[in-house]
Amino acid sequence: MTAPLHDKRPGTTSVQLPDTQQGMRRRNLSRVMHAVAAHGPLSRAAVATRIGLTRAAVSTLVDELIRSELLDELGPERPGRVGRPGSALAVSSRGPVGVGAEVGVDHLAVCAVDLRGEVRARAVQHVRNRGRSPELVLRDVATLAQRACAEARQVGLSPAGLAVAVPGLVARDTRSVVRAPNLGWHDIDLEPLLPSGLPLTVDNEANFGALAELWLGEGTPEDFLHVSAAIGIGAALVVEGRLLRGTHGFAGELGHVPVRPEGPSCPCGGRGCLEQYAGEEAVLRAAGLEPGEGHVGLLAERAAAGDRAVRRALGGAGAAMGIALTGAVNLLDPQAVVLGGALARLAPWLLPSLEQELMGRMGGRACGVTVSGLGPDGPLLGAAHSVARAVLDDPVGVCTAG
């Protein structure tokens, strides 16, 4: 699978660097990397034009990036152009890879993505993780990650970091899962349980899914609300191309927006939360199925086969989502709502009632609702890409270390 890493927002960098000569050099190294990753192969002159620096300045930066094995020189360009033929630059096909991992309720997955955005290694394990001890789950994740790293190293790549997507709340700027009800986890620090030797980041799967949509989605805007679901309902807000994390890292809890204030009690402590109408358990119940009996895949199959009870249940879930999203769109004024993850599969039966509520309640002024093309891979890809992008955002770390 080939996913261009930087077809979008090539100039943006999420790293805050000091405003000194040294900081400026680091930002300019990043600009060169992003330009070549997004538009390469490019000559030095073309890079200079793209990022608005002199050719001499770009050459110094490029030399440093070549020495650090982040860029490759492909040899002289074909003649026929004006001036001395330049040598085309490309992002190195060796060099760093980002390793992403996903802890799902029913599976574990790992992949490695290079600086061009190509998936270079991948492993999946089907295993029921609900109620399993975090130690065992994370030991399996570590094994899969080691396998992917070994595979990457064999072809000359060097893993730059490991990012793990979990279906739960992660305290901001930590590696601690505060709670992941669908795994049965409370206050689990992943750092000591995942000794990979790589820098570790941990985030909510909805956040990584939204980042994947931002970086890899077709025509995704800079401001959007990404709604995903597995068993709960999560959302992530992207504002001006940046994830809005919230003070504690808990932003995006769309599943606990009240839909009917006197509705059924929710384990969160609230009443009538969206999850009580549109969470997996609620939809299965509304369709006359036992909660243990099925999951999103079964619902999609039955709805596609014309099962009226399932379709009615999904219509009800879509209407509840439309009510909760009316609040979210009024508060956030996003450019679009994107249904991703498992919700994308159910979109044909959720969307009509969802859009009817949202548009009706907003007097026709609501933003559009689109369906993600990434499917359930979003969070895993988002995790791996986040590591690869961190290298592009601040290549000097690699340059210095290299």
Sites of contact with its own copies (CB under 8 A): 18-19, 24, 27-28, 52, 221, 223, 235, 237, 239, 244-254, 256-261, 268-271, 323-324, 326-328, 330-335, 360-365, 367
Tell me: cis bond preceding 41? Omega within 30 of 0 counts. yes
216 touches 238 (CB < 8 A): no
Task: Please report where in the chains the tokens 């508060």 appear, as a residue.
Answer: 331
124 vs 239, beta carbon nearer its own copies: 239
Query: What is the closest distance, in whole angstroms, from the C-beta atom of residue 27 to its own copies in the complex?
Result: 6
Query: What is the closest distance, in whole angstroms, from the C-beta atom of residue 152 to its own copies in the complex?
Result: 33
Query: What is the closest distance, in whole angstroms, from the C-beta atom of residue 361 to its own copies in the complex?
Result: 4
Count CB atoms within 10 A of the CB of residue 27.
Answer: 17
Query: What is the closest distance, in whole angstroms, from the C-beta atom of residue 264 to its own copies in the complex?
Result: 13
B/e letters for 222-246, b = 16+ CB within 10 Å, e = fewer, are ebbbbbbbbbbbbbbbbeebebbbe
299 vs 358, beta carbon nearer its own copies: 358
248 vs 285, beta carbon nearer its own copies: 248
Facing residues of 170 across strands? Answer: 177
102 vs 223, beta carbon nearer its own copies: 223
Tokens, residue 10: 């090539």
27 vs 39, beta carbon nearer its own copies: 27
310 vs 313, beta carbon nearer its own copies: 313
For residue 73, count CB atoms less than 10 angstroms from its CB and return exposed for 0-12, middle for 13-18, buried for 19 or more: middle
Among 2, 27, 66, 6, which Cα is nearest to 393's?
27
Q: Where are the beta strands (DSSP E) in 181-261?
A: 185-189, 200-204, 224-229, 233-239, 242-244
Query: What is the closest distance, in whole angstroms, from the C-beta atom of residue 38 to its own copies in the complex?
Result: 18
Query: What is the closest distance, in whole angstroms, from the C-beta atom of residue 231 to its own copies in the complex?
Result: 17
Tokens, residue 298: 């079964």
Query: What is the closest distance, in whole angstroms, from the C-beta atom of residue 186 to its own copies in the complex?
Result: 14
26 vs 122, beta carbon nearer its own copies: 26
- How far, in Å, are 76, 167, 278, 329 from residue 299 at the CA level? 56, 20, 13, 27
